[in-house]
Amino acid sequence: MSSLDDNNIIEVAVSLKELVKNAKSLNIKVIITTHHPLFYNVLYNEIKNINNLECCFIKNERNRYIKEKQNDAIFGYHHFIKYEIKKAISENKIERYHFTLFRNLLEKTSTYLGYRYWGDLITEEDLKEGEREAVDFLTKEGHTILECNFRYGHAEIDIISQKGNILHIVEVKTRSSTAYGEPESFVDQRKIDLLVKSANYYVRRKDLDVEVQFDIISIVKNSVEYNINYIEDAFYPF
């Protein structure tokens, strides 16, 4: 199964369960494949009680297909994603696709809980450990911290500080590894545009007569320490 209308997924899964049940009584073997997580989850929970029926989750890993038989507990795709991510973290084997899985998990959970934006699911505690390190760093560098996590629309400025007559708009990027690039490389043009709009709004609202500078603090966190790279004038608002 591939391109399913979300509104019909449950009905299709329930109907398919009856076909599978009848096929089993006729000694007909059935193989069903799908890349649709909700369809798989509903179908699994519908047919898991049919005796001697094997349900598997198949994933591609380094060009190999791996079949993992599930136990008889209620299967949830989001639980599987969480398990895969936690396993990758514990084994220090985080791959690029784990970030896609995590985003998928957040998108579906935010929709279910009624959030407008998936990023709203990430708590202050989850995000801000690196930002606290950044605040301490800037304070030691002589900055006066004016705002943390300043929001304007869908945008957020991690830190706004001032040193002399320069207003610093600081984006903090924290990573546990540089395997897929330095943290600052994840600041894309869309993020830059949002930061510029937010900074302009902040300056107008506060009626400030200052020079505005856009900085990035790149933090790589390992089990022992934080490695901080302060990039001043990281980009220009043009």
- Summarize pLDDT for 31-64 with one digit per residue, the tens: 777 777 667 767 777 776 666 565 555 545 444 3
Q: Do 129 and 100 fall into the same domain?
A: no
Q: How far is the C-alpha of 70 from the C-alpha of 148, rounded, in Å?
A: 45
Q: What share of the chain is helix, strand, coil (3-state, %, to 5)?
A: 45, 25, 30
Q: Cβ atoms within 10 A of the Cβ of 183, count?
A: 23
Total domains in the fold of the chain: 2
pLDDT band for 82, please (50, 70, 90 cuts): confident
- State residue 109's pLDDT score: 74
Higher pLDDT, 52 or 224: 224
Closest CA to 80 of 40, 30, 113: 40
Q: How many residues does the chain have?
A: 238
Six-digit token pair at 127?
């995000």
Final residue in a domain of this structure, among 93, 118, 143: 118
Q: Do 111 and 157 fall into the same domain?
A: no
Higher pLDDT, 10 or 119: 10
Strand 56-61 to 64-69 pairing: antiparallel
Higher pLDDT, 126 or 17: 17
> Mean pLDDT score of the chain, rounded to an integer?
75
Q: Give me the CATH number covering residue 222.
A: 3.40.1350.10
> Cβ neighbours of residue 126 under 8 Å, at least 6 residues apart?
none
For 184-206, how does the pLDDT look when each residue is reduced to its tens digit (9 = 90+)?
A: 666 778 888 889 999 999 999 99
- State residue 66's pLDDT score: 39
Final residue in a domain of this structure, among 99, 118, 137: 118
Q: Do 53 and 102 fall into the same domain?
A: yes
Higher pLDDT, 3 or 235: 235
Residue 238 in any domain: the answer is no
For 137-194, how does the pLDDT look when each residue is reduced to its tens digit (9 = 90+)?
A: 999 999 999 998 898 887 889 999 999 999 999 998 877 665 555 656 667 788 888 8
pLDDT band for 226, please (50, 70, 90 cuts): confident
